Amino acid sequence: MVGTHQGLFAGIFGRGGADTGDEAWLQAMLDTEAALARALERAGLAPPGAGAAVTAVAQADGFDAAEIGRQAGLTGNPVPALVRALTAMVPDDTASAVHRGATSQDIIDTAAMLLARRALSAVAADLSAAASGAADLTAAHRETVMAGRTLLQQAVPVTFGLVAAGWLTGLDEAREAVARVRAGGLAVQFGGAAGTLASLGDAGVRVAGLLAYELGLALPVLPWHTDRRRVLDIAAVCAGAAGVLGKVARDITLLAQSEVAEVREGGGPGPGGPGGARGGSSAMPHKRNPVGAVALLGCTRQVPGLLATLAAAAEQEHQRAAGAWHAEWQPLGDLLRLTGSAASWGAELLAGLEVDPARMRQNLDAARGLPMAEHVALLLAPALGPVAAHDLVAQASARVAGSGLHLRDALLDTPETRRLLDEAGVTPERVESALDPAGYLGSAGEFVAAALTAHAAAEFRLSH
């Protein structure tokens, strides 16, 4: 779906439900402060009603995010300004419940976990939709023969169902990784000034447990101020999902090239143009660009740099980092947003992808039998030996490339080659059969079936 994020590039990079903008960050910090007040009240460290009072005013639209951001320059992070503003909004007799026992990093790290949980939910939903689209393509085209391509050159035949099955398996594994981190990898952060919760006396561990309960986050063994593995786990599953989605989009851009034209994106009839069907060019009225795939790649190409920044920031000093922690905030939000946008594009792209089986067969036939050279060599190997069979077919293939002949003709109409075939007992009918792409698909059908079975199992696991 198209996201609600504002900005000139939001339609490309801000799609889906992975909202990580300023208001989302602010609300996650306020949710953490409100949950802390409730936890303190339950622990007997705040007056009755304090939790409800703080919760009632902890709404982002009641705060001036821009002013809090300006004041953050004075303290190195936005939490002190937020705490002052929140304290001013609650009754005096409950003000002591605001931020008690916490340090700024507790609030921002816990907010990051809440932000990630919400964003990963949106990512998982769109990955699920993308997987459903890939499953439909897999099932519909399990017998659609096309050219396999290695190093961007035609190789042996495959089926489009097998190609889509590869997309499907990657998407299923990516969404299970996202679900795993969302379900068990997000932990509350609550350690106070240096990870001891000294200001809460002997109630610190209890308050931490209550805070985790209030927010529905895991309770870690101890505060993780300078142990950034949880942030890296989030980043890693986002990068993995982005890699899978980028693979799908890259394949589609290549298959949609004018000279290939084996698939094209949905989005309305005709070449389109400004204000018309999607994919139009501002300068070339005839074009139907693969906009969804291109936009998806625009998202995923930014992900490796963000992952690298977060990995570099994971080395942090003593009990509180000097700068490395600060370096995480924007890259983490951007990573979640871009992964969410890529997943949204992927869901739409795979739901509407148009496949042209006739064009696939036409492109395969245009190679004049060369993709079947391996199969012919295997046919000849028992009689001629593998090396001689390989060399014979290689020579015939060279004649095809240089003359425009079909491999069949290069094998059967060349006297010397025909003599070797006759001596090996290989009839023209067997050569003709070996040149049929549909007869050289190996285990493609079994792999497609396995992918669909695994997808059904993943659907069951993730829905129960």
433 is catalytic: no
Residue pLDDT, tens place only, 420-441 = 888 888 899 999 999 999 999 9
pLDDT at 269: 47
Q: Where are the beta strands (DSSP E) in 191-327?
A: 263-264
pLDDT at 6: 67
Please tell me the distance from the alpha carbon of residue 57 to that of residue 65, in angstroms, as a whole number: 15
pLDDT at position 283 is: 52
Residue 272 makes CB contacts below 8 A (sequence gap 6+) with: 278, 279, 280, 287, 288
- φ, ψ of residue 138 to 5 degrees: the values are -60, -50
Residue 275: is its pLDDT beyond 70? no
Q: Pick the catalytic residue: 320, 359, 418, 430?
A: 320
Q: Alpha-carbon distance 446 to 452, whole Å?
A: 10
Q: Is the distance from CB of 296 to CB of 171 less than 8 angstroms? A: no
Reply yes or no on whether 418 is catalytic.
Answer: no
Does an H or E element contain 310, and which? helix 303-312
Q: How far apart are CA 387 and CA 381, in angstroms?
A: 8
Lowest mean pLDDT among 7-16, 84-93, 219-228: 7-16
Q: 118-153 pLDDT, tens per residue?
A: 999 999 999 999 999 999 999 999 999 999 999 999
Statement: residue 278 has pLDDT above 90: no
**Tokens standing for residue 386:** 């593998």
* Per-residue CA distances from 309 to 231, 285, 305, 326, 333 (Å): 11, 41, 6, 11, 12
d(CA 121, CA 123): 5
pLDDT at 7: 84
Q: How far apart are CA 78 and CA 303, in angstroms?
A: 26
DSSP state of 83: H
* pLDDT tens digits for range 20-34: 999 999 999 999 999
Q: What is the distance between the terminal CA atoms of the chain, rounded to a whole angstrom?
A: 25
Mean pLDDT of 57-82: 97
pLDDT mean across residues, the chain: 93
List beta partners, residue 149: 154
Give strand pairing partners of 154. 149
Kindly state the helix (H) or strand (E) to which residue 172 belongs, with its residue range: helix 160-184
Name the pTM for this structure.
0.93
Q: Yes or no: say if 50 and 83 are a contact pair by the CB < 8 Å rule.
A: no
CA-to-CA dists, residue 386 to 71, 107, 223, 380, 398, angstroms: 76, 68, 64, 8, 18
Catalytic residue among 96, 121, 132, 281: 281
Burial of residue 405 (CB within 10 Å: 0-12, 13-18, 19+) is middle
State the pLDDT at residue 417.
Answer: 85
- Show the CA angle centred on residue 434, arms to residues 431 and 435, nearest 5°: 90
